[in-house]
Amino acid sequence: MTYATPNKKIPGVVAPGSTDVENFKENSDYLRGSLVESFANPLTGSITEADTQLIKFHGAYQQDDRDQRLRRQEKKLEPAYSFMIRMRMPGGELTAAQWQKIDEISNTYGNETIKLSSRQAVQFHGIIKFDLKKSIQMMNDALLDSIAGCGDVNRNVMCTPDPSLSAVNEEVYAYAKKISEHLMPSSRAYHEIWLDEGKGEGRQLVEGGEHELEPLYGKHYLPRKFKIGIAIPPYNDSDVFINDIGLIAIVKDDKLQGFNVAVGGGLGMTFGREDTYPRLATVIGFCKPDQVLDVCAEVMMIQRDYGNRQDRKLSRFKYTIDQYGLNWFKQELTERLGFKLGKARKAVFTTTADQYGWHKDMNGLWHLLLHVEHGRIQDTPLLKQKTAFLKIAETNLCNFRLTANQNMLLHGIKTADKVKIEKILAQHGQHADGRELSGMRRNSIACVSMNTCPLGMAEAERYLPTLITKLEPILEKHGLREQEIKIRMTGCPNGCGRSVMAEIGLIGKSMGRYNMYLGGDAQGERLNTLYKENIDEAAILELLDNLFADYVSTRGKNESFGDYAIRSKLVAATENRV
Ligand code: HEM
Ligand code: SF4
């Protein structure tokens, strides 16, 4: 199918008053900018402002160590700049050899930790400017890249990770990969700048003009980031409704029939801007497997043409849908596709949780889902998880898959090899598959925030484990230690740790203070609602102690904490139910 090039008459396409980022993109010669010069400049650890925007399309963010900011300021030193790199790995799939390379990059150039993100990608932190190119080249040695890891393009495509959960998992996973490839930017900037591909190659203008260089995106790319995820019911472990496009695999008699298509999800909001809000994707129909690439491309291009390029706080696809209306959108999509989506099929989700422990698939191979605290893989005195995963990778007995809950799935293990894997884990302090942890810890997610994220207003990943340790005796007292209660924390309202979907969501306001949100559900189909503003740890503990007591004494059979919060009118249920 040939797609339409960006139409300049359509409102969203760059017009006077567009943001600086739009101008940076326009003048970047398809994402090249002055990146080569910036990275060669020996006088500073940072890069130019335009390049800080362009580098995102190559998968990296410029950051500075926030723990050191004040001290360096006092000494009149520039901030301690470094880069975070986020890789592209659809569905979070990695071979054992690739894991070994990831471990090597984190030790050689990063801060010796590996972060599993809440969108099934690996992030490295603490890479200094002069090592970024070497890190990308090392990734490339293992056939890995960070193209479109960040930036105003389609990002890492998510997919239910566990092959033991569904007979068609591999088939569905292949679509995550195909969609990711299909929507990749065409610019060779990444290959030229980081991998020294022959300059000029691929840049000849071809018949059809300049847009042939970037046929899907054009030179302004998208107004904002774009995200796609796939889930296979009844498991919503990839939190499918948070995406700009959520695809729900419809399986009958172990055969993939196609996908329900949901559009317009996105979780970020900005404090003080009433016109920003989280939104869950709305199901608009069904497509067959051989239609899904075109459906994704055309949906994305409607956003390319109509998305807001004047205000980046309002430029996600969810606002485009709400501004123009769902009916308009469906009609526009039908016109562009040349066919109408079918009627959405029945799909029932039961949980967003990871299925910890050993599971066997239909081929008799085993999968082990292991808990990783907020996705940070490192060696600590008690738990040498990083070494354990490296040693397991060196045995080459399994592949690796990252989950959207920031955990690790080892998969494809033969029965005879299970003991070897368990032994390595035990030797390094990981006795567990997560089941010995409290239900709350098993179901917790935190974003990165301090010390690397420039947008964090409060701690998240470095603090949530401590808060849970303080909550555990309270849970124990109320007989709730095993209860699966979904708690999520982010350092700001951007939503990277999906806290607006949690039964207990904590969003940073300032150091040590959080807004508390209640009422998310277990299956990822309901946003939560603000319950208390700007509270500190003592208030969080006291409030939850009282709420847990009331929950236990009044709850209905199998009632979740999130459902209790709504039944007992602590908060109103959000209207945006899927
Ligand atoms: C205005 C909106 C947003 C901005 C400006 C933003 C910015 C950032 C930044 C700067 C980081 C890097 C933090 C670090 O590694 O030090 C980050 C991480 C991340 N963001 Fe966002 N983000 C936004 C919204 C979202 C949303 C809605 C999601 C998905 C639900 C998301 C998913 C992620 C993920 C998966 C990471 C990786 C780290 C992690 O798992 O915590 N982001 N984001
Ligand atoms: S939620 Fe905010 S603090 Fe956390 S990683 Fe995202 S942008 Fe940073």
pLDDT-based confidence at 163, cuts 50/70/90? confident
- Asked whether residue 219 falls in the same domain as residue 307, the answer is yes
pLDDT-based confidence at 179, cuts 50/70/90? very high
**How many structural domains does the chain have?**
3
Catalytic annotation present for 447: yes
- Asked whether residue 420 falls in the same domain as residue 465, the answer is no
**Are the C-beta atoms of residues 309 and 18 closer than 8 Å to each other?**
yes
**Which domain range does residue 381 map to?**
357-427
Q: Closest ligand to 268 CA? A: 1
Query: Exposed (0-12), middle (13-18) or buried (19+): which is 170, by Cβ within 10 Å?
Result: exposed
- For 105-117, what is the mean pLDDT? 98
CA of 125 to the centre of ligand 1 (A): 13
- Asked whether residue 88 falls in the same domain as residue 146, the answer is yes
Q: Which residues contact 324 (CB under 8 A, 6 or more apart)?
A: 306
Instruction: Among 494, 498, 527, say which to mutate for ligand 1: greatest number of ligand atoms within 8 Å of CB.
Output: 494
Model pLDDT, residue 201: 52
Does ligand 1 have an atom closer than 6 angstroms to the CB of 498?
A: yes
Residue 502 belongs to a domain: yes
The per-residue pLDDT for range 371-427, each reduced to its tens digit, is: 999 999 999 999 999 999 999 999 999 999 999 999 999 999 999 999 999 999 999
Share of the chain above pLDDT 90, in %: 90
pLDDT-based confidence at 198, cuts 50/70/90? confident
Does ligand 2 have an atom closer than 6 angstroms to the CB of 447?
A: yes
Residue 361 belongs to a domain: yes
Q: Closest ligand to 86 CA? A: 1
User: Could you tell me how far CA 298 lies from the centroid of its own chain?
Assistant: 22
Highest mean pLDDT among 15-29, 164-178, 543-557: 543-557
Residue 166: pLDDT over 90:
no
- For 355-361, what is the mean pLDDT? 93
Closest ligand 1 atom, residue 239 Cα? 30
Catalytic annotation present for 86: yes
Residue 84 belongs to a domain: yes
Measured CA to CA, the distance from residue 148 to residue 125 in angstroms comes to 17
Instruction: Among 496, 501, 511, 513, say which to mutate for ligand 2: greatest number of ligand atoms within 8 Å of CB.
Output: 496
Residue 294: pLDDT over 80:
yes
Catalytic annotation present for 225: yes
Q: Which residues contact 313 (CB under 8 A, 6 or more apart)?
A: 270, 273, 275, 276
- Asked whether residue 175 falls in the same domain as residue 290, the answer is yes
Closest ligand 1 atom, residue 121 Cα? 35
Q: Which of 372, 406, 427 is the last residue of a domain?
A: 427
- For 273-280, what is the mean pLDDT? 96
- Asked whether residue 417 falls in the same domain as residue 452, the answer is no
Does ligand 1 have an atom closer than 6 angstroms to the CB of 453?
A: yes
Catalytic annotation present for 496: yes
Q: What is the pTM of this model?
A: 0.96
Model pLDDT, residue 433: 72
The per-residue pLDDT for range 336-353, each reduced to its tens digit, is: 999 999 999 999 999 999
Give the DSSP H or E segment for 514.
strand 513-518
Query: Exposed (0-12), middle (13-18) or buried (19+): which is 423, by Cβ within 10 Å?
Result: exposed
Residue 212: pLDDT over 90:
no
**Are the C-beta atoms of residues 495 and 548 closer than 8 Å to each other?**
no
CA of 54 to the centre of ligand 1 (A): 17
Measured CA to CA, the distance from residue 314 to residue 316 in angstroms comes to 6
CATH label of the domain that carries residue 411: 3.90.480.10
CA of 537 to the centre of ligand 2 (A): 20
Measured CA to CA, the distance from residue 418 to residue 398 in angstroms comes to 10
- Asked whether residue 423 falls in the same domain as residue 449, the answer is no
Residue 28 belongs to a domain: yes
- Asked whether residue 384 falls in the same domain as residue 304, the answer is no
User: Could you tell me how far CA 200 lies from the centroid of its own chain?
Assistant: 34
Does ligand 1 have an atom closer than 6 angstroms to the CB of 238?
A: no
Annotated catalytic residue: which of 25, 32, 86, 401? Answer: 86
Residue 299: pLDDT over 80:
yes
Annotated catalytic residue: which of 159, 287, 296, 453? Answer: 453
Q: Which residue has the higher pLDDT, 58 or 8?
A: 58
Residue 175 belongs to a domain: yes
Model pLDDT, residue 220: 95
- For 453-471, what is the mean pLDDT? 97
- Asked whether residue 470 falls in the same domain as residue 418, the answer is no
Instruction: Among 271, 490, 499, say which to mutate for ligand 2: greatest number of ligand atoms within 8 Å of CB.
Output: 490
Residue 449: pLDDT over 80:
yes
- For 147-164, what is the mean pLDDT? 94
Residue 208 belongs to a domain: yes
Q: How many residues does the chain have?
A: 578
Residue 203: pLDDT over 80:
no
What string of H, E and C letters represents the secondary structure of 72-118? HHHCCCCCCEEEEEECECHHHEECHHHHHHHHHHHHHCCCCCEEECC
Q: Which of 308, 337, 366 is the last residue of a domain?
A: 337
Does ligand 1 have an atom closer than 6 angstroms to the CB of 155?
A: no
Q: Closest ligand to 505 CA? A: 2
Closest protein CA for atom 3 of ligand 1? 494
Catalytic annotation present for 492: yes
User: Residue 194: helix, strand or coil by DSSP?
Assistant: helix
**Are the C-beta atoms of residues 525 and 280 closer than 8 Å to each other?**
yes
**Are the C-beta atoms of residues 461 and 488 closer than 8 Å to each other?**
no
Closest protein CA for atom 11 of ligand 1? 453
Closest ligand 1 atom, residue 313 Cα? 1
Q: Is the dihedral of CA 499, 505, 511, 512 positive or negative?
A: negative
Closest protein CA for atom 13 of ligand 1? 453
Residue 74: pLDDT over 70:
yes
- Asked whether residue 478 falls in the same domain as residue 420, the answer is no
Closest ligand 1 atom, residue 460 Cα? 41
Q: Per the structure block, which two tokens stand in for 44?
A: 């500073």
In sequence order, what are the beta bridge partners of 247? 230, 261
Residue 140 belongs to a domain: yes
Residue 535: pLDDT over 80:
yes
Does ligand 1 have an atom closer than 6 angstroms to the CB of 452?
A: yes
Average pLDDT, the chain: 94
Q: Closest ligand to 113 CA? A: 1
Angle at 284 between CA 283 and CA 288, to 5 degrees: 100
The per-residue pLDDT for range 505-531, each reduced to its tens digit, is: 999 999 999 999 999 999 999 999 999
The per-residue pLDDT for range 224-266, each reduced to its tens digit, is: 999 999 999 999 999 999 999 999 999 999 999 999 999 999 9
Model pLDDT, residue 300: 98
- Asked whether residue 362 falls in the same domain as residue 297, the answer is no
Instruction: Among 88, 447, 528, say which to mutate for ligand 1: greatest number of ligand atoms within 8 Å of CB.
Output: 447
Q: Which of 401, 427, 453 is the last residue of a domain?
A: 427
Residue 11 belongs to a domain: no
- Asked whether residue 114 falls in the same domain as residue 163, the answer is yes
Closest protein CA for atom 6 of ligand 1? 494
Q: Which residue has the higher pLDDT, 443 or 432?
A: 443
Residue 12: pLDDT over 80:
no
CATH label of the domain that carries residue 68: 3.30.413.10
Does ligand 1 have an atom closer than 6 angstroms to the CB of 228?
A: no
Q: Closest ligand to 115 CA? A: 1
Model pLDDT, residue 42: 96
Model pLDDT, residue 211: 54
- Asked whether residue 246 falls in the same domain as residue 132, the answer is yes
Model pLDDT, residue 199: 58
Peptide bond into 234 cis (omega under 30): yes
Residue 204: pLDDT over 80:
no
Model pLDDT, residue 9: 65
